[in-house]
Amino acid sequence: MTSIRQSLHHKSNDERPPFSPGELQEWTGQITANPYRNYLYSYPHKTAYREFAVPISLEELWRDEPAESFFLYMHIPFCGARCGFCNLFTLPDKRANVHAEYVDALERQAKQWAAFTSHKPYARFAIGGGTPSLLAPAQLNRLFGIAADIMGVDLAATSISVETSPETLTEEKLSILKEHTVDRVSMGIQSFVAAESAAIYRPQDPDVVYRALELLGKYDFPILNLDLIYGLPGQTVESWLYSLNQALLHEPEEIFIYPLYTREHTIVKPGDLLRQTDIRHECYQAAGQLLAEHGYRQYSMRRFAKENAGTAKDILNYSCQEEGMVGLGCGARSYTRNVHYASRYGVSRKATESIIADYVAAERYDTADYGIVLSLAEQKRRFILKAILHSEGLTVADYSRRFGSTLWEDHPELGLLVQSGFATDEEGILRLTPGGLGYSDSIGDWFISGEIREQMEGFILP
pLDDT, tens digit, 9 for 90 and up, residues 408-429: 999 999 999 999 999 999 999 9
DSSP 8-56: GGGT-SSSPPP--HHHHHHHHHHHHH-S-S---SSSS-GGG-EEEEEEE
Domain harbouring 144, CATH code: 3.80.30.20
Res 369 pLDDT > 90: yes
In the chain, the percentage of residues whose pLDDT exceeds 90 is 76
**Residue 240 domain-assigned (yes or no):** yes
Considering the domain architecture, whether residues 61 and 196 belong to the same structural domain is answered as yes
Q: Are 340 and 84 in contact (CB under 8 A)?
A: no
Residue that terminates a domain, selected from 306, 325, 350: 306
Considering the domain architecture, whether residues 151 and 201 belong to the same structural domain is answered as yes
Mean pLDDT calculated for residue range 238-250: 97
**Residue 327 domain-assigned (yes or no):** no
Considering the domain architecture, whether residues 55 and 27 belong to the same structural domain is answered as no
Burial degree of 315 (CB within 10 A; 0-12, 13-18, 19+): middle
Rounded CA-CA distance 37/68 in Å is 34
pLDDT, tens digit, 9 for 90 and up, residues 193-212: 999 888 877 777 889 999 99
Mean pLDDT calculated for residue range 439-462: 94
Domain span at 395: 2-33+376-457
**Residue 323 domain-assigned (yes or no):** no
Considering the domain architecture, whether residues 82 and 10 belong to the same structural domain is answered as no
Rounded CA-CA distance 71/66 in Å is 13
Considering the domain architecture, whether residues 16 and 125 belong to the same structural domain is answered as no
**Residue 153 domain-assigned (yes or no):** yes
Considering the domain architecture, whether residues 104 and 252 belong to the same structural domain is answered as yes
Q: Which residues contact 256 (CB under 8 A, 6 or more apart)?
A: 186, 225, 226, 227, 228, 302, 303, 304
Rounded CA-CA distance 298/296 in Å is 7
pLDDT, tens digit, 9 for 90 and up, residues 157-205: 999 999 999 999 999 999 999 999 999 999 999 999 999 888 877 777 8
**Residue 104 domain-assigned (yes or no):** yes
pLDDT, tens digit, 9 for 90 and up, residues 31-51: 999 999 888 888 999 999 999
Residue that terminates a domain, selected from 252, 286, 306: 306
DSSP 300: B
Res 272 pLDDT > 70: no
Confidence of residue 323 (pLDDT cuts 50, 70, 90): confident
Considering the domain architecture, whether residues 156 and 255 belong to the same structural domain is answered as yes
Instruction: Quote the pLDDT of residue 88.
Output: 73
Q: pTM of the prediction?
A: 0.92
Domain count, the chain: 2
Considering the domain architecture, whether residues 388 and 422 belong to the same structural domain is answered as yes
Rounded CA-CA distance 156/23 in Å is 53
**Residue 224 domain-assigned (yes or no):** yes
Considering the domain architecture, whether residues 29 and 59 belong to the same structural domain is answered as no
Residue that terminates a domain, selected from 306, 321, 349: 306
DSSP 143-189: HHHIIIIIS---GGGSEEEEEE-GGG--HHHHHHHHHTT--EEEEEE
Res 15 pLDDT > 90: no
Longest dimension (CA), the chain: 64
Short-list 83, 66, 138, 74, CA closest to 110? 74
Considering the domain architecture, whether residues 172 and 204 belong to the same structural domain is answered as yes
Confidence of residue 320 (pLDDT cuts 50, 70, 90): very low
Res 4 pLDDT > 60: no
Specify the higher pLDDT residue, 178 or 316.
Answer: 178
Considering the domain architecture, whether residues 69 and 177 belong to the same structural domain is answered as yes
Confidence of residue 85 (pLDDT cuts 50, 70, 90): low
Residue 215's identity, in one-letter code, is L
Q: How many CB atoms lie within 10 A of CB 458?
A: 10
Res 268 pLDDT > 60: no
**Residue 265 domain-assigned (yes or no):** yes
Rounded CA-CA distance 168/132 in Å is 9
Q: Which of 76-90, 181-195, 341-355, 393-407 has the lowest mean pLDDT?
A: 76-90
Structural element, H or E, at residue 98: helix 96-117
Rounded CA-CA distance 371/342 in Å is 6
Considering the domain architecture, whether residues 29 and 66 belong to the same structural domain is answered as no
Short-list 101, 102, 100, 145, CA closest to 125? 145
Instruction: Quote the pLDDT of residue 347.
Output: 73
Q: Which of 224-228, 303-307, 349-353, 387-391 has the lowest mean pLDDT?
A: 349-353
Q: Dihedrals φ, ψ of 222, to 5°?
A: -55, -40
Short-list 301, 300, 299, CA closest to 281? 301
Res 375 pLDDT > 90: yes
**Residue 280 domain-assigned (yes or no):** yes
Helix (H, G, I), strand (E, B) or coil at 232: coil
Residue 44: cis peptide before it, omega within 30 degrees of 0: yes
Q: Which of 42-46, 226-230, 240-244 has the lowest mean pLDDT?
A: 42-46
Specify the higher pLDDT residue, 2 or 270.
Answer: 270
Q: Are 97 and 138 in contact (CB under 8 A)?
A: no
Burial degree of 251 (CB within 10 A; 0-12, 13-18, 19+): exposed
Q: Which of 75-89, 106-120, 422-436 has the lowest mean pLDDT?
A: 75-89
286-299 b/e (C-beta count within 10 Å ≥ 16 → b): bbbebbeeeebebb
